[in-house]
């Protein structure tokens, strides 16, 4: 079963997260929500297999921390 682990602000961010997860060996998918369905851009859900949800969440958190560390 697929489960949502992250909601990206736009398609580009969703694809970036999908690439990060893929590089770590996590199978993921994206799904447009709300305005993205009608207008073509907006929020996108990042989905992974339920069995990999915890690991995927840790990877995304590590990415966010590293991104914040390299900003300043």
Check residues 67 and 14 and name the one with the higher pLDDT.
14
Q: What is the mean pLDDT of residues 39-56?
A: 92
Q: Is pLDDT at 53 greater than 90 in this prediction?
A: yes
Res. 72 pLDDT band, cuts 50 70 90 = low
pTM for the model: 0.84
User: Which residues are registered as beta bridge partners of 45?
Assistant: 7, 31
Check residues 57 and 39 and name the one with the higher pLDDT.
57
Res. 34 pLDDT band, cuts 50 70 90 = confident
Residue 55 dihedral angles phi and psi, to the nearest 5°:
-65, -45
pLDDT of residue 64: 85
d(CA 38, CA 66): 34
């Amino acid at each position: 079963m697929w489960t949502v682990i992250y909601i990206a602000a736009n398609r580009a961010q969703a694809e970036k997260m999908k690439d990060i997860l893929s590089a770590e060996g996590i199978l993921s998918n994206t799904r447009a929500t709300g305005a993205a369905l009608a207008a073509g851009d907006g929020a996108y859900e990042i989905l992974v297999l339920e069995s990999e949800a915890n690991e995927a969440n840790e990877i995304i958190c590590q990415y966010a921390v590293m991104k914040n560390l390299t900003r300043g």
